[in-house]
A and B are shown apart, each in its own frame.
Chain A
Amino acid sequence: MSQYAGVANEDSINLSRSERKRVRTRSWKLLAALAGTQKPMLALTLVLVVVSNLARVAFPLLIAWAIDWGLPQVRNGNWAALGITGGAYVLAAITAGSLLGWYILCTARISQAMLLDLRLDVFRHTQRLSLEFHENYTSGRIISRQTSDLETLRELLDQGISELVSAGVFVVFTLISIFVLDWRSGLVVLVTALPIWLLFGWYQKRSELVFRESRVVSARVIGSFVETMTGIRAVKAFRKEKSNDAAYSQIAGEYRDNSIRSINLFGVLQPSLVLIGNLAVAAVLAWGGFRILDGELGVGVLVALLLATNRVFQPVENIAMFYQSLQSATAALEKVSGLLEEAPTVVEPAKPQPLEHAAGALEFTDAVFGYGDGPVIMEKFDLAIPAGQTIAVVGQTGAGKSTLAKLIARFYDLRSGTLSIDGVPIEQIANNDLRRHVVMVTQEAFLFSGTVAENIALGKPGATIEEIILAARAVGAHEFITALPEGYDTDVNKRGGRVSSGQRQLISFARAFLADPAVLILDEATSSLDIPSERAVQRGLQTLLGNRTALIIAHRLSTVQIADRVLVVHDGKIVEDGSPAELIGSEGRFAALHRAWRESLV
């Protein structure tokens, strides 16, 4: 496995030969794949370019024809010639204009289609990647991959294709005409290909590093920005503004220096190309001039040659600009394609076993778990939870309670052993089925932009407003929601400030209630609720939990009391297992915890 596979080491700038080749190829393949879907449109665009260039070539010919043929005709009193020449010119004008307009539209369609494809691909892929990936790859990077990195592709496509194609066509046509006029001068022009090629090679080598660095630095600028804005409360409360300003200005300065470096590289490339072109003209002039002295070359031919040589180099600048955008986009696509190369560690089964209805019986057999290659977190254990049982998991922070929950929600897979739902191994259940049957509510109750109703409906897309209200009532959230300015239609984004974290927890409870799963996991889901709200939730839970399996992680005794069975987790092991009454009666950890609780409930 390459050490640069996926997003590994994506911040390195200097790569070994083979690794560089790998990431570049990966990047170009992505670009080619995106362009591949646009073949018919690209072909049409190519035709348009050629035809519109031909129409432009027609203008000088028409003028020459008008003067050579039209003028004598008019002088002889043939006034129709005025209309014919003028009309032909206007026709050419309208044709050229329309073709150009059409062509601009076509390139926009192509570039937007490619951009949309990639945008959707990256989004979908990122969402599919496992939680393990998200916990290690910063959100700033994901955001920058999906914003500023894609922006470079857009720049390439927007100015790139049009410049490149029409410049290429122009250069080829002009070069041919030079060869036809005088092959020796053609050779002189061809010889300049060598320094140009060397120059591009030099630019490519230098700019590759700078552009690669640019993606890394811009991701840091974005990361720092997003972190500050999402954490603004703490920034203000702890007066972090000044040090943030300094840090941001430092990193934005690095980004600026990087841009200046890349632009300066181009600033050498572009004038050098101009210089080479102009020297080529001088060379053609020198060689042609002496041949005129020797009488080997006509003056008219030399004029034509010189003008053509002068023109052949004009679009080389456009090609250089395209090359610059290509370098920049390639560097960005190196990163994007790396992200796309990441495979989810929790894999959706190729041939899932259908699980239309689940009763919710869970069984761990010889289960062992650890993150990645890290140490074992949960030592080998067996655990059977019959369908419909309500389990409370208690233990100290870091004992492994949440791990148990994450395994059942299949955020992670076991290192060895099996976990099955109704006898079906969890790895063989289609993601859709699994998520329909198993729902987890966590302590961090995240609200998405949209209305309160839409946030609850996340539990069951397409739910009617009646169902939504029913769910909200069941968990005791209805009262506060109706008290909001626009009730269920209140935009949580605009009014984020007035939805407290307790209320957010109630909304996520309503979400879970609406989802109506066979297995419900509550990970500290009531921590921010006041006692009456918690009581309401628990009443709701008792109805909700009636015939479903529930795993409740809680620090509160009140929650444990509605459980049929209690598991005490300590240091990655299940150390006690029994009904609350049994455990209280024993002299174990739970009994001690229970005493502590009683004392806290004054």
Chain B
Amino acid sequence: MAVQQGHSPAAGTPSLGATFARLLPLVKPILPRLFFGFLCALAAGIVALTIPQVLAWLVNNVLNPEGQGSEVWSAVALVGGLGALEALLVFLRRQFVITPAARLETQMRVRFFGHLQQLPVAFHERWGSGQLLSRSMSDLSLLRRWLAFGAMMLVVSTVTVLTGLTLMFISSPVLGAIYLAGAIPITIKAFHFRNNYRAASRLSQDQAGDLATAVEESVHGIRVIKAFGRGRHMYDGFNFRAKALRDTEVSKAKTLAGFILFVVAIPETTLGLGLAAGLWLAAQDQLSVGALVAYFATATVLAGPVENMGMLMGMTLTTKTALDRHFEVMDTENTITTPEEPASPSTQRGDLELRNVVFRFPDTPGSAAPTLRGINLHVRPGETMALVGMTGTGKSTLLQLVPRLYEATEGQVLIDGVDVRDRDLLELRRDVAVAFEDTILFSASIRDNVLLGAPALEPGELETLLDSAIETAQAGFARQLPHGLDTVIGEEGLSLSGGQRQRIALARAIAAKPRVLVLDDPLSALDVRTEETVTERLRATLAGTTTLIVAHRPSTVALADRVALLQDGLIHDVGTHSELLGRNAHYRYVIASLEDEETNSIPRPGGMQP
């Protein structure tokens, strides 16, 4: 299927400096440790470079056939001591750096998770969870590696190269200048490399994310895939994406290889030129052979760090794009938040009112009519209102405006006279409980699932609440499960049938003891017998609770005191079931059952008086 998604980076990607500058406040607390780690790395490097020098010096000056045994021992002690010091420094470097880097990674991961949980539902509808997963796992582990290793080695290599260059200039300014001239083509090349590699690295990370989304879909959609025998088709799609990722990775490696080629070949080439120049200078006696040798000895030491710098630059760019991906999500503004000074209703009766509510999906073209065009609806305290309308008229959308899962584009949603936007979000969602049409249960025991939104009560009272919610929703089957109400369900546990899930979700909404209950076709998957019992029990339970319930069937409408008819984005009529049957043709069309039509029986008014 088509390559997807609204995560492509905005036209202007931040510069390298800008991205890492944003990291600074996060890194600040661990900066001292990173700095000590860096010092240890530098010191270890110096010791490592010193050991061969010391060896040469010892051999030439201390050890000779006329020397003493004790001198050998002190030389050995010196070398052994330096060796132990290097090992200690290497050990310390890791000690300083590893833990804070891993902590920072985890801290950012947890923050990322928390931010995603706060972002509105509309955001999650646009983003595949695989794409988010890759940002939370691989991107942040890249950062850890870069912090603990890449950044440090980049600094150490740079310092080494600069020191080496200084030494070269001291040996011979001319030869030093020739070597340094190599930096010009490398810098130009580095500029191209940076642009190409950054683009490729970003692309590969996005493709890896899409691939994760494809995996996620292939798992969650396995029943449909199997039912239609479309494994091959899914495989082809996955194959296509996996190959695209491979191609990106290979072209990324090609870019890197081209750069490394340059980084290795150019300094060595300048050395070749330096060799010729050095010989010429030496022939003129303007340069000692010793200085020439020293120049090349330094150059040999520099070869490693220069090559490393190429690799580390690649790593830095990859980390940069990973960070961009992270910050893109972190920068997504949460549009549904608790206001500075939340208001609380003075009375808590559960009066629900929608005033001139308009809802438009953000991507609806301006010319098209919004989904909800100006809803006016008043559900009185304790009243049960059914919401009836054709598939796709926006009933579910309307329901989600109440707990602010979606935000009204215009107009107001009021509970007890207070606009939901002025309420504390958590308080609002405590007052409003929802049962969705797609039931979402979590990996937890049935008990915990049902009591998820329950008020804080004594254990005994909770047990009573649990019992009555299960009773009302006819979810007693749960007691017969292997571990009764402690059976773990959801992703990590037992899979339940659609009807069973729906009843648990209904019990969960009831047990939340909300002021306003919002039910989205909560009985659709139930068989008639169960539906009948649930309806009966619900009617008693809902007695004091303001309820807005989406209904497709007369049997669900039977729960309601009044019915609101949604058509073309407006509430067209409100009244009792029988009133609407009597006066509204569209209502009859929507709710009158097939059997009535086929048997030509006239709707029986009066059967549904509240």
Contacts and interface: CB of A to CB of B under 8 A. Distances in A.
Contacts of A92: 268, 272
B97 to A, nearest CB: 10
Nearest to B281: A74
A578 interface: no
A589 to B, nearest CB: 10
Contact of B491 (A108, A140, A485): A140
Interface stretch (B24-32, B230-238, B320-328, B337-345): B230-238
Interface residues of B, number: 197
Contacts of A83: 276
A391 B156 CA distance: 76
B110 A249 contact: yes
A355 interface: no
Contacts of B252: 108
B184 interface: no
A168 interface: no
A221 B137 CA distance: 9
Interface size, A (range): 35 or more
Interface string A421-436: 0000000000110111
A303 interface: yes
Interface stretch (A205-213, A451-459, A579-587): A451-459
Contacts of B361: 495, 497-498
A238 interface: yes
Interface stretch (A29-37, A192-200, A275-283): A275-283
B390 A530 contact: yes
B117 A538 contact: no
Given A528-B521, A557-B595, A281 B51 contact: yes
A356 to B, nearest CB: 16
A71 interface: yes
B99 interface: yes
Nearest to A506: B391
A533 B391 contact: yes
A88 to B, nearest CB: 8
Contact of B300 (A60, A71, A268): A60
Contacts, number: 560
A148 B212 CA distance: 10
Interface stretch (B242-250, B415-423, B460-468, B541-549): B242-250
Interface string B314-339: 00000000000000000000000000
Contacts of A124: 231, 235
B219 A139 contact: yes
Contacts of B5: 449, 493-494
Interface stretch (A2-10, A16-24, A128-136, A180-188): A128-136
Contact of A275 (B56, B87, B99, B130): B87
A82 B87 contact: no
B221 A279 contact: no
Interface string B525-544: 11111111000000000000
Interface in A473-532: 480, 483, 485, 491, 493-498, 500-503, 506, 508, 511, 515, 524, 527-532
Nearest to A402: B497
Contacts of B238: 120, 123
A105 interface: yes
Contacts of A436: 229
A299 B59 contact: yes
A551 B531 CA distance: 23
A234 B429 CA distance: 11
B517 to A, nearest CB: 11
Contact of B590 (A119, A126, A532): A532
A350 interface: no
A303 B280 CA distance: 30
A233 B436 contact: yes
B327 to A, nearest CB: 19
Contacts of A102: 257
Contacts of A74: 279-280, 282-283
Interface string A285-312: 1100110110100010011001100100
Contacts of A253: 106
Contact of B227 (A104, A105, A441, A498): A441
A143 B216 contact: yes
Given A281-B51, A290-B69, A402-B497, 20 more contacts: A71-B283, A93-B268, A97-B262, A105-B254, A134-B219, A147-B134, A223-B491, A225-B113, A234-B434, A236-B121, A244-B113, A278-B84, A285-B58, A310-B51, A498-B397, A501-B438, A527-B498, A556-B528, A600-B555, A600-B558
8 contacts: A96-B265, A123-B238, A147-B130, A267-B91, A282-B83, A397-B500, A485-B365, A500-B392
The 8 closest A-B pairs by CB, nearest first: A435-B229, A278-B83, A97-B265, A450-B1, A93-B268, A108-B253, A86-B276, A101-B261
